[in-house]
């Protein structure tokens, strides 16, 4: 191996929500030409088999909520490997540009003289609800959907939540489990304590679990069934379309309230 590559390059590849069959064909082809693969914790291990046997495989994700590498360290590793080895594939869960810090890595690499390509991936924000049987939009029920982070870089609840809960749009909250009680409080303040909520843990993986409950009971449901990250939160009337949503009573407005329910694969 040369000490310096004449063609340093980076390909940011979205691995999809977890199921290894949900990566794009273009993403697989990028992996097949990789000299180094830097991958995250949410990447299915089967995807690494697409890379040549000679390619280095470097884990740069989180384990048990602890970040092994700061983002600045990952940026420098990308550049270091690109200059020393050649083609670096940065394999990221979901889509690199949807709360994936992909643009930060792209900009740093380009500033350091590394050519960059981007291969989008299926974002968990829409793929996971679809796989669970929940459409984000449906005629007569939801005209739009919002994708939000529940937690800012300072680990606080996103200020956008307060605005979003006033909308009738379907809300998809990523990285929001820590602040689920705060999200429920914001919904309650808007008179939406009965809005249906789905919490989907390990979406698209073999151990996927889905909790269904009205907002005022979802925290209790999640705690009772010990749902944790990685999970997404889906809020809105479309959650009633989940095949296992069962109404047990009617509120004064005529809207059905479902009893809490947990579904496992």
Q: Which residue has the higher pLDDT, 20 or 100?
A: 20
- State in words which class domain 9-119 has: alpha beta
pTM for this predicted structure:
0.90
62 in catalytic set:
yes
HEC-encoded secondary structure of the chain: CCCCCCCCEEEEEECECCCHHHCCHHHHHHHHCCCEEEECCCCCHHHHHHCCCCCEEEECCEECCEECCCHHHHHHHHHHHHHHHCEEEEEECECCCCCCCHHHHHHHHHHCCCEEEEECCCCHHHHHHHHCCCCCCECCCECCEEEEECECCCCCECCHHHHHCCCCCEEEEECCHHHHHHHHHHHHHCCCCCCEEEEEECCCCCCCEEEEEEHHHHHHHHHHCCCCCCEEEEECHHHHHCCCCCEEEECCCCCEEECCEEEEC
> Once rounded to an integer, what is the mean pLDDT over residues 106-114?
97
Asked whether residue 5 carries a pLDDT value surpassing 90, the answer given is: no
Confidence of residue 3 (pLDDT cuts 50, 70, 90): low
Asked whether residue 80 carries a pLDDT value surpassing 90, the answer given is: yes
The yes/no answer on whether domain 124-252 falls in CATH 3.30.950.10 is: yes
19-23, 35-39, 85-89, 151-155: least confident range: 151-155
Asked whether residue 146 carries a pLDDT value surpassing 60, the answer given is: yes
Confidence of residue 163 (pLDDT cuts 50, 70, 90): very high
Domain ranges for the chain, please list them.
Answer: 9-119, 124-252
1 in catalytic set:
no
Confidence of residue 252 (pLDDT cuts 50, 70, 90): very low
Kindly name the residue from 19, 35, 40, 95 that is annotated as catalytic: 40
- Per-residue model confidence as pLDDT tens digits over 16-33: 999 999 999 999 999 999
Kindly name the residue from 62, 117, 160, 178 that is annotated as catalytic: 62
């Amino acid at each position: 191996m040369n000490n310096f590559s004449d063609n340093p390059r980076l390909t940011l590849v979205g691995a999809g929500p977890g199921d290894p069959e949900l990566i794009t064909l273009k993403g697989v082809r990028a992996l097949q030409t990789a000299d180094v693969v830097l991958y995250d914790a949410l990447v299915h291990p089967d995807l690494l088999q697409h890379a040549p046997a000679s390619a280095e495989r470097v884990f740069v994700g989180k384990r048990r909520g602890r970040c092994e590498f700061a983002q600045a360290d990952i940026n420098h590793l990308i550049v270091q490997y690109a200059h020393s080895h050649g083609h670096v594939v940065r394999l990221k869960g979901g889509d690199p540009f949807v709360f994936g810090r992909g643009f930060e890595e792209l900009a740093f690499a380009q500033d350091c003289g590394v050519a960059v390509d981007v291969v989008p991936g299926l974002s968990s924000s829409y793929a996971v609800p679809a796989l669970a049987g929940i459409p984000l939009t449906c005629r007569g029920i939801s005209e739009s959907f919002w994708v939000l982070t529940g937690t800012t870089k300072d680990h606080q609840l996103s200020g956008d939540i307060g605005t979003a809960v006033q909308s009738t749009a379907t809300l998809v909250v990523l990285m929001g489990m820590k602040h689920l009680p705060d999200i429920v409080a914001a919904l309650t303040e808007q008179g939406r304590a009965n809005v249906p909520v789905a919490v989907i843990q390990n979406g698209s993986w073999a151990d996927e679990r889905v909790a269904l409950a009205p907002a005022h009971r979802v925290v209790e449901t999640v705690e009772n069934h010990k749902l944790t990250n990685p999970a997404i939160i889906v809020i809105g009337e479309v959650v009633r379309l989940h095949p296992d949503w069962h109404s047990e009573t009617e509120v004064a407005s005529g809207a059905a309230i479902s009893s809490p329910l947990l579904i496992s694969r």
